[in-house]
Structure 1
């Protein structure tokens, strides 16, 4: 970690010049575990709905009971303090039960993207040395196939399988919810358990007591994975304390209370979905309306039916909702706070939100390493296509990416961040951890890898990325990971992944490929696209493929991806 000592510019405190007068600058963050939040909510609001899931209600008291029962089962499988447990499923009430069960068992949640395929999932078994996998029925086959590739001693001790219908009303989703038929069929499908797997209901009914809860604020609580410019995804070490910061800060920033109703549509495995669909609502005691997958008609109907007040999303969801021929019939007047990030909100859409519904879209900014937001737009004074201002207890600076000297207002540099929500480092990667932090004025700052500037009112704007990354509808795609997977294709000799412009997704994934000699003339671009969709998550899979005779390379033999990207941009 480099030490840098430079004088702060005269306008260093400008980022606080428009801090909302209703909010404290810093929070008194509870020195407890995340489980304690559920315990408190269940004690206060035992019969209150914690979740609404297409006609099925799960109360806070029952959420606590099931989480404790599952924590006991985990302990019976040999899960000890600090052991890792993978969660691999779409949004559903079981996700919350499992998350809090893992925390109650003093273990560590490893959230895994349910779009991952067998080739990708194996990394989430081996790198964190996963003890137990909790997955949904349609993904159990991927888990079984991935663990079958491993030596017996490296496989999880147990696999627990839940079916979505187990938390739905008898007969499936309530017809009045408006779930489309394909979604109904998917949710009610009954999948066979792989050999040796345990059924969710059997685990809850086993009657195992979890014993004392000993996890404290500084114990590891979650290990979400993020990819980078090189290598496989890295685990970000978050403690109860780093996750607690935004869990309790979100409600104050967004006017939330126990009377609020939130819509959980951002995938819960994603750090934003974890914060606004798993952690924040339970801390607040609010009711959460869960969407298992995005569907614009279902979204509009659920907001109308449950009088949703708080919705965190990505802008493409709102764009899609506005594109519905039925959107004027949706009763969206209950919405009080609309926020999100991952991609810039188009000005025209933001203006429609204001004109038609009186809603301001409050964009925010953060990364997996910062447990979602480190910056946010105050809803009473939001700016469009802006990251916002540093939130509770956050100190953010703009520095020269090379010299790390702090830059004055208006100049573009790298965004670095210090705050209570910043992670502790990358799992078992001390060199990557060291490279990710810099010391400035006696504080440890995380280097975001994003280029930005701060305006004269203290609002931050992103201008570019230092890291090589593609942003497709808010999903972060790291080219190196896609390239590594593509090299497994028998026809691919070399591959370089770049971003291509996309009218809807903002950016999409393009593969520039050199074919092996024997594959030329017999392998098509569509063959590569189809293979990619079979072997990697859909959002990562290249949608465009270009065959070339050779990739441009530097004198040292490195692929000059920037040159390919510049040509694509032109």
Structure 2
């Protein structure tokens, strides 16, 4: 049996092959359902020739029609999909290939191919321009055994690679179709990177299952992005900073019927400005790579979506089985029909199910549940923060930058430029009195080489020592004061 969302797309493509499916905004072109299905079928035939039926395939490149075709081919043929964006470093890609024994690479766009893949690794570029598929054997009916690997940001306290199996993929998609009321007449503006859970769930899975079309744009701007909102877009999944930008160019009376954000709480001023500019409701979605959508609400705190059980525990309880409550404040714990199989950092080990309480995953988020079951997220139990809707684990960045010659210690903190714009600041303790300008250049070079763009420090400050408690624990709350935050913010503008 195929994954339900792929089966739905196959049926719709055969019923209406010429119907517009993916619009690539920057390229100024659109692709039909038939073109995408044909490319997926040709790619599935290539995979059958090159790799085993249970192989892990790395899908590399930006979103768009090629991404859809590659995803359909890999999942529909029963294989394991590992999506990776073009902003990932060569070292990171190579590490993923090794740890998950990637058997083949599928490139979604010929203009952004991996320049130096491992020697001998089979590679194919999605071909959307060849004569339509010749009608050979349809091999996209094996999706029931497929699975998906997604990079997790680590907000649960356990960053890693998340493994989702076919039923969880379908459940994530069907839940979104239900709560967003997606249908064939909808057009979704997809600007979130597709290698992240938010991007792939809202820019591929849900629209594919619903039969909706997608306008793909890599990131939102006030020109092409705003024009795409004005041209038949009905649903806009966003992050707070994009809604803030879009509020400046709003126009009432468009086809837009719904906008919403995820990743971090939307400031009330941004919500009000966007609603006033576009005259549409603004929703808040709370979800995780491990679980999918947890709560959904429009213009208010969210309620658990169908199939989700939610509670709170005392985050300071040191016991292995803290008591779970259905009401009150504490660390949010969640169980879902779309629950992931576990963390899979290497393919040769069993998935790690993560920290669970009565079958509920500890999220690392702090929140409150009221008597009616509505949920309000109040903060993070851990250290991660958001930059443009993408998570930054400061400890990961610190480990990377700490290897720069001349750096004795480094700590990373967020810098809030506005209510919606956050950047990364690195506070560096040099090894000696060497030239600070040269060391700053070295740190930035190391960041460009090893870190994706959203994790790279926009601001670098130098101090003689990091603030610590009497027991040696770093006092992160004092880091910004120690680094002269006001000057740092001014330099980052």
* TM-score bucket (shorter structure): 0.7 to 0.9
- Does 2:200 correspond to 1:260? no
2:387 equivalent in structure 1:
472
Using the size of structure 2 for normalisation, the TM-score is: 0.87
CA displacement at 1:451 relative to structure 2: 0.8
Give yes or no for contact 2:192–2:218 (8 Å, CA) kept in 1: no
Alpha-carbon separation, structure 2, partners of 1:521 and 1:335: 50
- Does 2:48 correspond to 1:48? no
Alpha-carbon separation, structure 2, partners of 1:232 and 1:455: 28
Aligned residues: 476
Alpha-carbon separation, structure 1, partners of 2:253 and 2:166: 35
Tell me the alpha carbon deviations over residues 9-63 of structure 1, each in whole angstroms, 9 at most, x when there is no partner.
xxxxxxxxxxxxxxxxxxxxx9845432322222333221111224423222222
2:410 equivalent in structure 1:
495
Using the size of structure 1 for normalisation, the TM-score is: 0.76
Alpha-carbon separation, structure 2, partners of 1:229 and 1:393: 22
Alpha-carbon separation, structure 1, partners of 2:40 and 2:387: 35
1:118 equivalent in structure 2:
90
**Cα distance change on mapping 1:46 and 1:396 into 2, 3 Å:** same
1:419 to 336, 352, 361: 336
Summarize the alignment of residues 488-567 of structure 1 with structure 2, pairs less than 5 Å apart.
488-503=403-418, 505-517=420-432, 519-521=434-436, 523-552=438-467, 559=474, 561=476, 564=479
2:37 to 31, 52, 64: 64
1:214 to 134, 142, 151: 142
CA displacement at 1:212 relative to structure 2: 7.0
Alpha-carbon separation, structure 2, partners of 1:293 and 1:318: 12
Q: Which runs of 5+ in 2 are unaligned?
A: 487-493
Q: Secondary structure at the match of 1:354?
A: helix
More divergent stretch after superposition (104-113 vs 40-49)? 40-49
1:398 equivalent in structure 2:
312
Q: Secondary structure at the match of 1:333?
A: coil
**Cα distance change on mapping 1:161 and 1:215 into 2, 3 Å:** closer
Alpha-carbon separation, structure 2, partners of 1:522 and 1:212: 56
Summarize the alignment of residues 49-198 of structure 1 with structure 2, pairs less than 5 Å apart.
49-54=20-25, 55-81=28-54, 83-135=55-107, 136-144=109-117, 147=118, 157-161=121-125
CA displacement at 1:565 relative to structure 2: 6.4
Give yes or no for contact 1:268–1:277 (8 Å, CA) kept in 2: yes
Q: Secondary structure at the match of 2:453?
A: coil
Note the aligned Cα RMSD (angstroms). Answer: 3.2
Give yes or no for contact 2:203–2:214 (8 Å, CA) kept in 1: yes
Q: Which runs of 5+ in 1 are unaligned?
A: 1-29, 148-154, 168-199
Alpha-carbon separation, structure 2, partners of 1:229 and 1:455: 23
Q: Which has the higher contact order (CA 8 A, sep 6+)?
A: 1
Q: Secondary structure at the match of 2:184?
A: coil
